[in-house]
Amino acid sequence: MARRIPTARLNNSQEIPVMGFGTGTVWYKPDPTVGFSQDAVEMVKAAIAAGYRHLDSAELYYTEEELGVAIKECGVPRDELFITTKVYQGVGNIPQALESSLKKLQVDHVDLYLLHDPYKTMAEGVTLEDAWKDMETLQRACKTKAIGVSSFLRPHLEKILKVAEIKPAVNQIEFHPYYQRTEDYVRWVQQQGIAVQSFMGLAPITWGKGGPLDGVLSEIAARHGVPESAVLFRWTLNQDVISITTARTVSRFEDYLQALDLQLSEEEMERISTVGRSHHLRVYLNEHFSSDDRS
């Protein structure tokens, strides 16, 4: 039986499921010549059958076509799904980029559209302020219900907030115990009325296996009779951060969704956070930062 995943309320009053299924990482294609993946379609349909309604893709992932087929075939009404995609290559003409994404997704609008990467946007000669004005136009045209950003630091967000007539609804960032951000950045974003989404939430047990949290997570997971992945997702959710993840096997869904029933004590939360801060791991966008930069 499909689980019901709770929702959070965005600053436009839209409800967003607090756990989402992403079509990047393991389903990401290095370029569009890789071809259509029926396996990805089946995995998205399995995620929907398990209870996921929040589905995340991006122009950069080259998985929008697969997500579109899965949406069409899943048997769940469109208005029960929360669909996100992001603009990356197409920042020079954002309205055109979204039209292309909508065609691949086989829908007439998305629920959330994100500027995928501030560094890519600026590298294409587009200011963040101008890009944001294009995003606002798309929301006003009802091509997307909400707009937001991804991988933005405070200086990037501050540029947008100075000109925004529509405030970003979301900032999707890499966030996990080994990369908790400096200067209470997550809390600052939330104080602006912007929801924080986490990707790479399982990094301590995937990319960071062998780190100082190994024993801590194993101990806490055993105490509660849940997988370590559920502990990590609960740690994220307890901070009012929305979690985006992916999977290559259906069995992972049951593991992940155990986070919904898990209750971690304040002591367990603090232990994960404290030990996590003793080690630094950034998986994404390393080329823009020094090895010890935690911003």
Residue 61 a catalytic site member = yes
The DSSP string of 31-67 is SGGG---HHHHHHHHHHHHHT--EEE--GGGT-HHHH
Q: Look at the block and give the residue holding tokens 């909508």.
A: 102
Contact assessment for residue 68 and residue 55, using Cβ atoms and an 8 Å cutoff: no
CA neighbor of 202 nearest in space, from 4, 12, 1, 19? 19
Q: Which two tokens stand for residue 241?
A: 């951060």
| Contacts of residue 20, Cβ cutoff 8 Å, sequence gap at least 6 | 52, 54, 55, 56, 82, 84, 197, 242, 243, 244, 245
CA–CA gap between residue 266 and residue 205 (Å, rounded): 21
Beta-strand relationship, 15-17 and 7-9:
antiparallel
State the catalytic residue, choosing from 61, 62, 88, 256: 61
CA–CA gap between residue 259 and residue 246 (Å, rounded): 15
Contact assessment for residue 107 and residue 83, using Cβ atoms and an 8 Å cutoff: yes
Residue 52 a catalytic site member = no
β-pair partners for 198: 173, 243
State the catalytic residue, choosing from 116, 156, 176, 256: 116
**Could you give the residue numbers annotated as active site?**
61, 116
